[in-house]
Every structure is written in C-alpha cells, then in structure tokens.
Structure 1
Amino acid sequence: MDNYNNAANIKEIRSGLLIVPVWAEGHALLARLLWQTGMHTEAMASFQKAIELQPEKLEWKLAFLDCQMRRGDEAGAVPELLKIVSDNINDANTVISAVSIIGSVARHDIAIRCLKWCLGKRPDEATLKAALASELISAGQVAEGCALFIKLIQQSEKNIYYLPVLVSAPGWTGAFEQALQIAEFFYGMPNTEHPSLLSNIGNLMIALNRSKEAMPFYERAFLQSPENEQMRFGLAVAYLKSGDYEKGWKQNELRPSVQKLPESKPWRGKGSISGKTLLLPGDQGMGDVIQFVRYIPYLTSLGARLILVVCTPLVRLFRTLPWPVEVRDLSEQISTEHDFNCPLLSLPLALMHYIGTEIPHDVPYFFPYAKDVSRFAWLRDKPGRKKIGLVWSGRARPEYGIAYRARSTSLEAFAPITSQAGVTFVNLQFGEPAGELQSLKGISIVDPMNDVRDMADTAAIIENLDLVISVDTSVAHLAGALGKPVWMLTRSDCCWRWLENRDDTPWYPTMRIFRSQPGSLDHAIALAAEELQRVLHDNAPEAACILNSEYEALT
C-alpha cells in the first residue's frame, strides 16, 4: 500500500471513528497506517486506544511495544515484553514475536537470555531453538548459532527451511566466500529452490562483487515472491552494481518502503511538467541526496518550477546550488501546492527518456559561502604542510547486519595514516565517534567541528583542505561534489554505487576508492597510508586529484 493510499485510508478510518469511537479494530488499523507514514506519536496513541477497548488482543499490545522499542523506550517496553513471554510460555509464536521485538533494536543479549530461559522450560521446541540460533548470529556468535541450525536440520528434514538463515549467517561477519560454499553444498537438494535461499545466494555473490552471476538467482526469487521488498531491492542492487542502469533504475522503484517518502502525485518522466510545480523530496541518507541532486539541471529545460526538500543540516548548503531551484527544510510543514513529485533517487529513471543512462559528472556543483570559507581560513596557517581531513565512522545501522559495521572503523585504526609526518590532519568527524579525539595520544589532529553548524560549514572547511580521507559516508560525497580530492575507504562488499573492482567512479571525478578485504577497513587503510606516504615523498599532492589519465583534463 503506497503512501498516497495510506493518506486516503487514514482519512476514511478517522471519519468512521467519529461515528463509532469504540471501533477497536479501526483504532488498531489507524495506528498501523499512521506509523507507516511517520506519524509515530499519533500511532502509539491509537494503539493505546485499541488496547484499552480490547485488552485481551495481544497482537495490538505487541505492536504497541514494538513502536515503543523503536522510539528508544527500552526501559518501558522490555519488562512488558518479558512478562508476555512468561505468561505465554506455551505459545511459541507469541514468545518468538515478543523476543523478536527485543532483538529488532539490537538488544540481542536480552533476547538470547530470554530464549535460553524458555528452552529450559520447553527443551524440545524446535522453533524456539531456531529463534535462539538467529539471535546468536545477530549478536555475532555466529559459530554457535550455525551449529544450532545444523543440528536442527540434521534432526528433521522438515527443518530444511532454516537453510536460508544458515547460509546467510557467515556473511554477517564478512565470511562471504565460506557462506557461498555452504550454499553451493546444499543447493539442489529437495525443497531448496526457495526464494529466501535464492535471495541469500544472490546477496553473497553481490558481496563478492559477482553481481552478474547473482542476477539469475534474484530473478527467480523475485518471480516466486514479487511482493517481498528485500528481494525486489536485491535485484535492483545486482543490476546497479553491475552497471546495468537501464534495468537498475526501473527496479530501484521497488526499493523498500522505509527508503521512501510519502508521494501523492508521482512523476516519473511521462507527461509534460512545463509550467507545473515539481516537488523533489531528498529521500534516504544525506550522502544519497548530495549524490543525486546533480540531476536537477536536466529538469530546468522542461519548464517546471522546482522545489527541493532536504533535511535541516543540508538546507544552507543546497542553497548554493547554481540552478533555479527553491530549497526548503524537510522538518517544516510543506504547505505549498504542487502538481507532481519525484524523489531525488527516482530522477535517473524519470530522466532516462531525455538523457539515457548517462551519469552527470560535472563538479563542483556546491559552492561554499565565502564568509564561511574565510571563517575557517586559519586552517591554512602552516604553509608547506598539507591539510588532510579525516572521517573514520559513518552512522551505525544495526539493521543491516554485522558486516555493515565494516563501513566504519576507529580513529585508532587510522594510525597508519595519522602517524605520517609533514601533514596537518583535520577532524571532519561528527557525532559520537568524534569523542575518540579525547583519548588520542601522541598525534595532533586539529578539530574545528565545534564551530560547525551544518554541512555548509563542513563544506567550507573542506574548501580549505588539500585532501579528504573518509569512509563511505556523506562527507565523502560532499568532498566529491565540491570537486575536491577525496580518498574513500570502503568495505570489500561496498555499496552498489561504487560498482565493482574499480578505484575510480563515474559519480565523482576527483574521488579515488580504496577497497578493503572482508571483515574490516584495515586493508583499505593500509593501502591509503602507503599511497599517502608515496605522495608526500614525491612532494606531489596533485597526484591525489589524478585518478587516471581520463580524468586528468577535468581536474
């Protein structure tokens, strides 16, 4: 159900509740729709009303506690969830539902202790053992979790449906090759042509940068389970990572709903927008928005009035764009009437009729405010020393699994880079990981981030630097969009946008990619440190700009 239909259904259910305020099912359905559209406070109030009217309805109670956990109220939700487990110990489905809510916010430690207690009461319950195995894997105890799954499969042929989880488990720690070997060993046995297993095999092949080989598995999984959002998106990733943008941008429209903003009047390139108002929501992360705003110039020739909506930290930066577009804050109520809308990540599809699958690569397209650049000009006080900005950690996203942690590292792990002489290192890290600067010993890193209000200030700092070395996060995108030299350190199973086995990218001409080996960023750090030493020794910092002869003229 798309967000447009959600809005219509919310209105209809509210009208019904005005007539029948004791309609418990209506309050529960309204709560689910409100949550899906991001109206979380209202959703929880509706769940509470439904529970008040029918307190025996455990499904609604669990849904309410799930919302409570996702909003960070563990202290309030966990005791209630544990009580539900205790009261329903003989109902494995209820137990697993309650424990899954605890684990969904990465409190696997509590979930594991709870399931072990349950198995002490019901030692022969296979579904509880499988739930425990999953939680162990999610917590990083992969060997123990896999052993439990293997034991279940050996005990009964009907437990073969646990195979997809077993196959994917080693991949959570970056052991992609080993995980694929397990998959290939079991694949072809009876009942293994299952969409989940096919999808997991596709995931592993993508992680191993074998996206073309992954496509047939995803395509078969997609045919069997076309409504499964993860399988639909997996196929999109396979197309995009292999460079098949024509299929990739089309399939990307089926990306999971959590990656989309509400749309009431979608435009995807069909029909004239001349003289119309086109709303452009900046969906997904800040890096995505920085990357895809490059498509806006191609809209100006179509004669539309353009309104770009981005999150607060990006507003001032995006008002430096050299194109006729109105920039608004996503946190504010957008009351302007608009004729159509198109999320930024849907622009490649919408414009395919006009520009094909061309990736616009003209940089810079952001221009920091002169007064901000001057404010940070003190960074250049030491002439002759190269100024290099550092970012070592991106936002934590536990829902993407253990391997996703490899997109980030620690400042301590950056030592092969930061220990090099003749450089002024500048902190560009924000958030909790920036606190690692306080425990740093023996290395001096200049930290201007206390004076940073938003990404426009970060852009002004970068403008005063010679090079940025960053993990795969929004600052790497920002440096690339500013046309500044940037070395990006990425995990082995890197994001689809960086394609496969390349140290350059069609998205940012001044970016150089250092790809790591599975498990951590240590290999990429070592490669970057070695290259930095060479550049400094040769006294040729310009080399940081030159990715290959094709881009030399651009830089």
Structure 2
Amino acid sequence: MNPRLALALKLLEAGLVESAAIPVAQALERDPDDPRAHHLAGLIARRGGDGALALAAFTRGLAVAADDAPLRIERAGLLLDLGRAEEALADLAVALALAPDHQAVLSTQGRALIDLGRPGEALAPLRRARALAPDDVAPAHNLGRALLALDRPDEALPLLEAAVARAPGAIDPRADLAEALRRLDRPGDAAQLLRAVLADAPGRADLADALAGALLAAGAVDESVAVLRASLDKAPTHGAGWVNLAAALIETGALDEATAAADRALALDPDDADAKVNRAFARCLADDYEQGFADYAHRWRTAAFQRPYPPVTAPPWAGEPLGEGTLLVRGEQGLGDQIMAARFLPWLSKRPDRPRRIVFECHPCLHRLLAEGLEAGIDLLAMGRPPPPVAAWIGALDLARMAGVTAGVMPVDVPYLKARPPVPPLAPPLPPGGRGRLGLVWAGKTRPRDRSCPLEPLAGLCVDQGWTVHALQLGPRRADLAGLPAGLGVIDEGDRLGDMAATASVMAGLDLVVAVDTAVAHLAGALGLPCALLLLATPDWRWGQKASRTVWYPSLRLFRQPHPGDWDGAFDAVRRAFAQGWPLS
C-alpha cells in the first residue's frame, strides 16, 4: 500500500480523522485515479459526518475500479444510511457477482432488503452470511431485524442476544433487542435496556421514542410522558415524538393535550397518518365522533394497517353508486371490532343504491354466526383469502361515519344478531332463589394493553350475589380456573365454545355477562344480552371517558377502574349495582 495511505489508515483507526485526511489528499495529488485513496477519502468524510462528500469519493473510486468489491460494499452501506436502498441493492448485485461468498456483501444485501420492506427475501442472504461468519455481529443483528420485521420476535431474540454479546456497546443491536423483548410481552426488560442505550446515545430521539413505548406497555405512563417531553425539548421538530406523546397523553386521560400533541406533529407533516389516528382516538374518547371518524379513516395509511392488510386493486368507496359492481367491506382488527361493525351490513344492504353484491371480509370463526344470525344478504370472505374482483372497498368501521353515528345517536338497529338456544341446555339446574346464570370473561389480549383482571375476587363477587357462574374464557388464562376454591362452583364452558356461533348459543342460555373488553362483551351487546363491561381507567376509544352507558350497545353497562390498576374499585361498583337490583329480571 502507498505509504501515505498506510499512514492515513492508521490515523483513521486511531480516531484522528482530520489528521488522516492530509496524507490522503497528498496521495490524490500524486495520483488522482488511485481507487484506494478515494476509498479512504470516502471513509474519512463518512466518519466526519459528510455523507455527500463520502458518496462522491466512493463514486470516483468506482469510476476507475468498477470491480472493487469492498468499495462497492462501502458505497452500498452509505447509500442505505442515506435512505437510498434501491441504489444500494444495485451496487450489491455487482459486488455479489464479484464475490458471491463475501459475508459483508450478503449481510448488507439483507439489510437493504429489510429497508425496502422485503424482509422475507432478506432471510436467505443473511443466513448465508451468518454461516460464513458466525462470530460477526452484522449478520446476526440483521437477521434478527428481518425476523422482527416479519413479526417473529421469538426467533429474533437469540440472534439479537448473540449480536449484543459480541458488541455490548453497540447502540442499534441493543435497541433492536429491546424491541424484541417488548413484543414478547417483556416491556419492563425492554425499558431497562433502553434506559442504558439512551444514556449512551442521548441525542437519539428514536431511542427516546422506543423507551417511551416500552414504558407505556409496562404501565409506567407518567415516566413515558416525561421521557418524550425531555426528548422533544431537545428535538422539537421530531414529528414521531409528538405522535408518541399524543398516544401517551391519551393514557393519562389528558385528551386536550393529546390532541394538541397530534396537532404539533401534523404541523410538521400534514399527511402524518399516525398523528391523525392518535388524534382520532383522543377525539372519539371525548365523544367527538364527527372529527374523530374523519381522522380515523387515515388508519389504512399507517404501517400498522399496511402490514396485515394487503392492498386491494380497487379504489376506496365513498358511497357513490357502483351499479353492477361488487363492494368489499374489509374486516379489520379484532373479533370485537368485526362484531361491532357487522351492525352496518343490514343497513348497507337496504340502501336504495346498494351495490349488486356485498362481500364482508372477516375472521372465519365469525362466519357461521353471521350467516345464521345476521339478516343482511351478504357474502362472507375469510380474512387472508384473495378477494373476488371488486369495484371498490371500504373499511368495516368506516361504515359508522357513513351511517352517521354520533356519541348520542346510533342510526341502525341494535341488537342485530340472533343465536340458537344451547343444546344441551346449560347445567346444573338453578338453585332455589338464585339470580340466574352469569357468563364470565376475565382476560383478553395483552397487547397493546393488558385488559385482564383477577379472576378469584370477581368470581367470588358474582357467586356471593347469587349468580350461577359459567366461565366463557378461552386462551391461556382459562387455566386460572384451576386455582379457584372448589366451593365457588364456577362451571367451565370452554369446551363448548368452538366458534363465535357456539359461544353465542351458550350465551343465549345466560341472563347476564360480566366481561373485560373482549369479543364476548361485543357479542353480548349485539345479542341484546345484559353485560357488565369492566374497563381500564383509560379504555378503548369507543367507550368514552366517563359514561356508564354506550351508544354502541344499549344492553351494556360500563364499570370503570377509578384509577389505573384499580380493579377493586370497578368490582365494588358492580357489587353496588347488583345490590340495587341490576339487571332487572
């Protein structure tokens, strides 16, 4: 190597960036076409934070040495940092032809594919890179990133742990490990790791966002707000920070402040769909459905919706006549959302200008329930299946805005579902003087928030008030029944709940449901069955902040935590309602 370039490399490795530039400049004066000098000039400019100058240097080097694979790798990595992944991928294709088993090429190719939203394609080159260099950080880290992008955090976790073990001070592998922990319902561990990462990189607003998200998931709402406010004091033009602050403030119940934070994000980027969705949540919680629904329509542009819902090759529907065309009503989110939206299908099918054919996309476990219990004259499509050719589509919950729902007016019929009586009938026979049969659900999804409550005090309350209790719980928390005192006599109906039609049939034999915010509560409301709905202190947008009744389901009565985590307060309110004779026979 040219002695000047050898000196420059030593100086650069020692962190003396400005000193390293001098011998490189001297080498280029002697030979302006030396690709190694241009390579080093690019490395020096990149280390100094001048991406444009570094790119120019790498490009000049490749102009005289197009077959220099290491130089192409460097330029590809820089292009990725500059957000130009397609160009990086083109460089890497050339580099792969020159060095097909070069782990850095394969690893960088995988990184480029992840950045382009093609993580599935990234797996093969990253696995090959890791096989070639099992002790290198980059292949393990990038493979973990790809698996995270594919929502496979359990597989990503050991890879990211390995990357952090090999580079314990590296920022991004630790941040991605924290994200895997958060997705595996370990938000406390994620927050602990992110505190250390943010201390090492205090200027990284994205790390503050990640820490705030982990804290929010762990229930540390006030600390989440504090982290975001401190970060935004340093970086007030960081739009994502304002979006995240809006979400955190919603959890505190400060809806006006949440709306103002979303507005700050939209002042920076008027098309920010996440900001509009968070503002929608704040507005709907404040019973402003008109503006809230208008904002909520933008959810289809967020990454959270684009990942699970493939695009449809038809325009969105705004109510215009479709003639002989087919309308696709897109099912979305959870079973409860789809049950809630199903009320609009009969209304839609009765419109004078209704489309010739309406197809409702929904979870397969709803198909029998809707086919047997909903008078709508529609076709059903299982979520994930390719739709038929359609003229237009609309999100199922967007029908609420089209129908004119407000916080005080429900312009469609409720109840709107029917169920067959249970066969065989529910057992055992009711005791003399008993109040009736009560269905109980105490646990639901843990993400984005755990809505579950403790079983034993709730079951004991219901039994003490004279109810025969039938457990309608499915999933891991069904196992809680094994820990109940035998004397409570709670009857496990889990084996009868094959699909939602079967669940509805069991519920048709009940007098009351007591449930946390789950699909069973929505089903009770859709059937017109009295239901005590147990809510977090800051619930989902549709339940508002204070009311004990809801326009969505007249048969529901809402019992709220008085303070975050205070289920005892909600249970006491249920006990008082029972003592006052609710629900009436």
TM-score of the two chains, using structure 1 as the length reference: 0.72
Which residue of structure 2 lines up, in the alignment, with residue 394 of structure 1?
Answer: 444
Distance in 2, Cα, partners of 1:103 & 1:170: 12
Corresponding position: 1:211 with 2:259: no
Match of 1:130 in 2: none
Q: Is the 8 A contact 1:149 1:166 kept in 2?
A: no
Residue number among 328, 331, 335 corresponding to 1:282 in the alignment: 331
Q: Pick one of 230, 236, 244 that aligns with 2:280.
A: 236
Aligned-partner residue type, residue 534 of structure 1: Q
Q: Determine which structure has more spread, i.e. the larger CA radius of gyration.
A: 2
Percent of aligned positions with the same letter in both sequences?
24
Match of 2:521 among 440, 464, 476: 476
* Correspondence list, 1:303-382, <5 A: 303-304=354-355, 305-319=357-371, 320-330=373-383, 333-334=385-386, 336-349=388-401, 351=402, 359-370=410-421, 373-378=422-427, 382=431
Structure 2 unpaired stretches of 5+: 1-88
What aligned pairs does 1:51-450 form with structure 2 within 5 A after superposition?
A: 52=128, 62-68=141-147, 74=154, 77-89=156-168, 92-106=170-184, 108=186, 135-136=191-192, 174=219, 176=221, 191-192=235-236, 194-226=238-270, 230-255=274-299, 256-259=302-305, 261-264=309-312, 265-300=314-349, 301=351, 302-304=353-355, 305-319=357-371, 320-330=373-383, 333-334=385-386, 336-349=388-401, 351=402, 359-370=410-421, 373-378=422-427, 382=431, 384-385=433-434, 386-397=436-447, 400=448, 404-405=449-450, 407-441=451-485, 442-450=487-495
Distance 1:347 1:223, change over 3 A: same
Q: What letter matches 2:445 in structure 1? A: R
Separation (CA, whole Å) in 2 of partners of 1:228 and 1:315: 35
- The aligned residue for residue 15 of structure 2 is none
Cα separation, 2, equivalents of 1:421 and 1:93:
56
Residues 60-102 of structure 1: CA distance to partner in whole angstroms, max 9, x if unpaired?
Answer: 754533454666574x544433332243446x23433542353
Deviation track 1:363-420 (CA, whole Å, cap 9, x = no partner) reads 22111135xx3433446655652111110000221xx3xxx22x11221242552341
Partner of 2:497: 452
Deviation digits for residues 428-479 of structure 1 (CA, Å, limit 9, x no counterpart):
1111111111121131111222122111111111111111010011111010
Once the two structures are superposed, residues 207-259 of structure 1 have per-residue CA deviations (whole angstroms, 9 ceiling, x without a partner) of 24342343122111222245655433211211222222222222112223323
One-letter code aligned to 1:263: P
Instruction: Specify which of 558, 568, 575 is matched with residue 513 of structure 1.
Output: 558
- Structure 1 distance, partners of 2:446, 2:147, is 20
* Structure 1, unpaired ranges of 5+: 1-12, 36-42, 113-133, 139-144, 544-555
1:499 CA drift (Å): 1.3
Q: What are the superposed Cα offsets for residues 510-534 of structure 1, whole Å, 9 maximum, x if unpaired? A: 1110110212423212211232233
Which AA in structure 2 matches 1:344?
A
Deviations 1:340-365 (A, max 9, x none): 2222122234x26x788953452221
Instruction: Go from structure 1 to structure 2 and tell me whether the alpha carbon gap of 1:360 and 1:393 turns closer, same or farther (over 3 Å shift).
Output: farther
Query: Contact 1:480/1:508 (CA < 8 Å) preserved in 2?
Result: yes
| Aligned counterparts of 1:31 and 1:202: Cα–Cα separation in 2 | 28
Structure 1's 245 and 266: CA in aligned 2 closer, same or farther, altered over 3 A? Answer: farther
Would the alpha carbon gap of residues 105 and 471 (structure 1) be closer, same or farther in structure 2, given more than 3 Å must change?
same
Q: 1:390 to 1:161 in 2, by over 3 A?
A: closer
Shift of 1:149: 9.6
Relative contact order, higher structure (CA 8 A, sep 6+): 1
**Residues 60/263 of structure 1: CA separation in 2 closer, same or farther (3 Å cut):** farther
User: Quick check: 2:137–2:167 contact (8 Å CA) kept in 1?
Assistant: no
C-alpha root-mean-square deviation of aligned residues, in Å?
4.1
Task: State the aligned residue count.
Answer: 469
**One-letter amino acid of the structure 2 residue matched with residue 526 of structure 1:** D
The question of whether the paired residues in 2 share the 8 Å contact of 1:287 and 1:473 is answered with yes
Q: Is 1:27–1:49's contact at 8 Å kept on the other side of the alignment?
A: yes
Report if the CA contact (8 A) 1:469-1:486 is conserved.
yes
Residue 542 of structure 1 aligns with which residue? 584
TM-score normalized by the length of structure 2: 0.69
